[in-house]
Amino acid sequence: MMPGPITYKTRKEYVAHWGEFNCKRMEREFPERCPWLSIKPAPRHQYTTPFEAWLKKRWESNWEVDSIPDALSINPRDFMLCPEPWRTIFIVSLGFCGEGGEVVEHIKKLVRDGKFDREEFAKELGDRYHYLVKLAHMFGFSMDDIERINVRKLEARDTERQLENRG
């Protein structure tokens, strides 16, 4: 008795035996003999953590007003499961915003009470700068890059204003 035809379960097996050219021909002319064509690709992203599943659920519900209490009752430990590097970016971004609030708090006290602690204000600016540097480096920028980009933006803005004033 003759053995049956060799079957290849994956495209890689077929290419290894017959070559890329013959594989493409087989896929084009006899797709029913190519079991790998019926295999659906894996989803691009699986929601692996409870936090990601929660975000997906909120996104699909379009953040309806009825779902806000559910959002407030999320388990804080779910944030610990947020995948890297997103978790670090999230933490550093929140730190940057929080320190900005502390800087503004000193200005509020100056306006409201007429009191201003210059050294404490400088400390808060330093904390804010620390988070700024961390964010810049996380996205591949040096502080020189940030300064250069910002100067270009401001110069373009000045040029636009000059053109508007001429008209």
User: Which pLDDT tens digit goes with each residue over 97-146?
Assistant: 999 999 999 999 999 999 999 999 999 999 999 999 998 888 888 899 99
The domain containing residue 15 runs over which residues? 8-39
Same domain for 104 and 160, yes or no, is: yes
How many domains are there within the chain?
Answer: 2
Same domain for 95 and 28, yes or no, is: no
Within-domain flag for 101? yes
Within-domain flag for 79? no
Within-domain flag for 88? yes
For 53-86, the pLDDT digits (tens) are: 666 666 665 554 444 445 445 555 655 666 677 7
The answer to whether residues 127 and 99 touch, using CB atoms and an 8 Å cutoff, is yes
Relative orientation angle of helices 86-113 and 118-138, to the nearest 10 degrees: 160
Same domain for 34 and 88, yes or no, is: no
Same domain for 89 and 162, yes or no, is: yes
pTM score, whole prediction: 0.51
- Residue-level pLDDT at 98: 94
Write the burial class of residue 133 (CB in 10 Å: 0-12 exposed, 13-18 middle, 19+ buried).
middle
